[in-house]
Amino acid sequence: MISIRNVRKDFVKGDVKQLVLKNINLSIADGDFVTIMGPSGGGKSTLLYLLALLDTPTTGDICIDNNNMGKLSEKAIEAFRGKNIGLIFQNANLISALTPLENLIIAMKDKSSYREKKRKGESLLEKVGLQHKKNSNSASLSGGEAQRVAVVRALVNNPRIILCDEPTGALDSVNSKRVIELLMNIRKETGCTLIIVTHDKDIGALGERKIILKDGEISELS
């Protein structure tokens, strides 16, 4: 269970303070499938960064399984994130010196053998139609291909919580559908929590819970 309690986030630039998240209260149960939509600049990525424990609220708390994440050390947060959270950003951020397959293998935290990791990486790449690119130069991939690698990279450690910030922003409709279906199937198979920020109305409509974030405030469609 993720609990966001009275979360407020402001950014200060010089003398100007911008209140980006006003007073967010939201509980997300294990296994929920939540989509978050809303106008550009409304605070969606900011909220996702807080959930990914990459940033901290100005005031308020983020609790996961009744643990107040603000009370953990950096090291504990890092370990928690590695084990529990899969993150997909709009930019793929692959390591360009490594092949797609190596990008997946290096992200794997379990102690299985290299051969097993390789097999797992190959099977994930196959799920997004990129088995033929596994040994390519990552820098030579198209934006959409790189994005699909980044999607499966977020899945390598079987995360309990998958956070996606416009995961299909760089994809055509066929690959967009493929990525969303993959994420939804993973959720069905593993019972993980899936949170997707999107500007795509069709994807937004798929969420079992649909949240709108606008001017730093949330509302939930019923």
Ligand X SMILES: Nc1ncnc2c1ncn2[C@@H]1O[C@H](COP(=O)(O)OP(=O)(O)OP(=O)(O)O)[C@@H](O)[C@H]1O
The footprint of Mg ion (CB under 5 A) covers: 44-45
Cβ atoms 128, 182 nearer than 8 A:
yes
Strand ranges across the sheet with 217-221 = 85-88, 161-165, 193-197, 33-37, 209-214, 217-221
**Could you tell me the two tokens for 145?**
């291909």
Cα–Cα distance, 97 to 165 (Å, whole number) = 24
Which CB, 65 or 220, lies closer to ligand X?
A: 220
How many residues in the chain? 222
Give CA 69 to chain center in angstroms: 17
Residue ranges in contact with ligand X by CB under 6 A: 11, 20, 40-46
Which CB, 44 or 127, lies closer to Mg ion?
A: 44
20 binds, among ligand X, Mg ion, none (CB under 5 to 8 A by kind): ligand X
103 binds, among ligand X, Mg ion, none (CB under 5 to 8 A by kind): none
Which CB, 43 or 159, lies closer to Mg ion?
A: 43
User: What's the maximum distance between 2 C-alpha atoms anywhere in the chain?
Assistant: 55
CB of 43 to Mg ion, least distance (A): 8
Which CB, 41 or 129, lies closer to ligand X?
A: 41
41 binds, among ligand X, Mg ion, none (CB under 5 to 8 A by kind): ligand X
